[in-house]
Amino acid sequence: MSETQDEVAVISTSKGEIVIEFWPETAPNTVENFKKLSNESFYDGTCFHRIVKGFMIQGGDPLTKDPSEEGRWGTGDAGYKIDAEFSDRPHNKGVISMARSSDPNSAGSQFFICLKPANFLDNEYTCFGEMIKGEDVLDALGAVPCGDAGGEISRPKERQDVHSITIVSRADAGVE
């Protein structure tokens, strides 16, 4: 097993931890970008700003660190874009993929995790790993009440924090 395959992401949230296994053979540049941002503490203090019931939870926007920027949540990025890396990997429950605009090469820092299979995204979005621990946490995040008077039906009513995303060995994450 290579060093990259031994490394996993531990996403520490307000509901608990989700552990993500990377697919470096599928999306090497995306995996390296996500690890780089995680190692720089880029995601620490952000939140899941978009939860679409039965579909996905989305995070990774640095603007979510500032509640006064809520009107712009979903528009922030790392200050650069990365190229898409499409594959035949299916978007099954627990798969992590890059969020983007209509331009396939517009992803930067935002990501989403599928709550159930979303095969209409296959070969359209860059998936780069999958959840190997924390299904109960993913389900809890996917079940939070959403919607507000401002018409943002996918915005959680209560903030769903991403305390940190750390890159650790499988052993340190408690997974084989």
- pLDDT tens sequence across 59-113: 999 999 999 999 999 999 999 999 999 999 999 999 999 999 999 999 999 999 9
Strands lying side by side in the sheet with 127-133? 46-47, 161-169, 7-13, 16-22, 127-133, 95-98, 111-114, 56-59, 50-52
Predicted structure pTM score: 0.95
Tokens in use for 74?
Answer: 């979903």
Report which DSSP code applies to 158: S
What's the token pair of residue 83?
A: 């190229």
The position carrying tokens 């790392």 is 78
Cβ pair 103, 126 in contact under 8 A: no
